[in-house]
Amino acid sequence: MAKLTRREMLQAGLAAATAAAVPSLARGEVRTVQKTTFKLRYAPHFGMFQNHAEDDLDQVRFAADEGFTAWEDNGMAGRSREFQETFAKLMAEKKMQMGIFVAHSIDWQNPSLTAGNKGIEDKFVADIKNSTEVAKRIDAKWVTTVLGRVAQNMPMGHQIANVVKALRRAAEVCEPSGMVMVVEPLNWRDHPGMFGATSDILRAVCEAANHPSVKILQDLYHLQVTEGNLIDNMNRSWEHIAYFQTGDNPGRNEPGTGEVNYRNVFKHIHSRGFTGILGMEHGASKPGKEGERAVIDAYRAADNY
């Protein structure tokens, strides 16, 4: 699979113990069902196993056959209701848990929640409310939230206050369903000027918001680019982390292709009793079926601690 930036992923909407043989719907081949369980709940996304499957839903079946117990899809909110309902039935059948989807429109060029603009804030809250309906339909709990660009003409304290105010308003519409907004740090190499690029700022925002529907999406790829020191920094914010995403650096591909010791990182996350989802928001270092198999093998190796 070609390496994709996060923006391309968003725009494209990219989406135990027995071995058995089942027919592959892709090319009439025989698919081996691994059913090897992982210690943590890693979540692939649409496009990650496209060479092993006939269509998007068959990618979910393939992932389940390989032992994955979760799935995520940035673009789920933009898919048809019919697809969402069919997807939800398949996920229930496969006993898989839904991870994140992107909950609101994102302005990549201009300050948004940082600016304190009521119209922008109202639109954000409306988007979150609409996403609660999608979440209910697909049995999802977490939604990705991006805070927008830094407002260069405003002191940082005022920007933090504006962000917290918007998140508190949105949290109120999350309350009836229990949906949780997980706020994502975006590194400045890939996304210059985005607010909340470091874990300390996101921790401060969550402390100030003080609401169970405002948590952190600890994206390990972005945070490795920005600050490194992954284990120590996650410990400092642990009570606010509800979701992880992975990806090695440089390259934003599977574990083992860059500088992060993911085996130790996963071991630490598991040792702290984390039972949530780790979204596999990255590409593959090799193309085709070989690359997809390399992704699976990389997670088996990193999960073997």
Distance CA 257, CA 61 (A): 26
SS3 at position 287: coil
Residues above pLDDT 90, as percent of the chain: 88
Reply yes or no: is the peptide bond before residue 44 cis, omega within 30 of 0. Answer: no
pLDDT on residue 281: 98
| Amino acid present at 74 | N
pLDDT on residue 171: 98
Res 96 pLDDT > 80: yes
Res 17 pLDDT > 60: no
Beta-strand relationship, 214-219 and 180-183: parallel
9 Cβ contact list (under 8 Å, min separation 6): 45, 74, 75, 281
Confidence band, pLDDT 50/70/90 cuts, at residue 35: low
Q: Summarize pLDDT for 205-255 with one digit per residue, the tens.
A: 999 999 999 999 999 999 999 999 999 999 999 999 999 999 999 999 999
Res 113 pLDDT > 90: yes
Distance CA 166, CA 46 (A): 31
Res 199 pLDDT > 50: yes
Taking the CA atoms of 136, 121, 104 and 81 in sequence, report the sign of the dihedral they define: positive
Ranking 11-20, 25-34, 140-149, 294-303 by mean pLDDT, the lowest is: 11-20
Taking the CA atoms of 138, 276, 218 and 43 in sequence, report the sign of the dihedral they define: negative
Q: Summarize pLDDT for 259-298 with one digit per residue, the tens.
A: 999 999 999 999 999 999 999 999 999 999 999 999 999 9
Give the pTM: 0.89
Stronger pLDDT, 261 or 27, i.e. the higher one? 261
Ranking 23-27, 74-78, 174-178, 197-201 by mean pLDDT, the lowest is: 23-27
SS3 at position 186: coil
Res 137 pLDDT > 90: yes
SS3 at position 132: helix
Average pLDDT, the chain: 91
Distance CA 179, CA 109 (A): 28
Q: Residue 291 has which token pair?
A: 């690359």
Residue in this structure with the two tokens 């989807």, named with its chain if needed: 101
Res 166 pLDDT > 70: yes
Confidence band, pLDDT 50/70/90 cuts, at residue 14: very low
Q: Give ∠ CA 56-60-64 in degrees, rounded to 5.
A: 160
CA 212 to chain centre: 18
CA distance to 22, 46, 65, 129, 301, per residue, from 17 (Å): 15, 25, 11, 41, 18
pLDDT on residue 4: 46
Q: Residue 209 has which token pair?
A: 């918001």
User: Hey, what domains does the chain have and what are their CATH numbers?
Assistant: 1-98+263-305 (no CATH), 99-245 (3.20.20.150)
pLDDT on residue 29: 55
pLDDT on residue 36: 75
Region 128-144: mean pLDDT is 98
pLDDT on residue 133: 98
Beta bridge partners of 41: 277
pLDDT on residue 52: 98
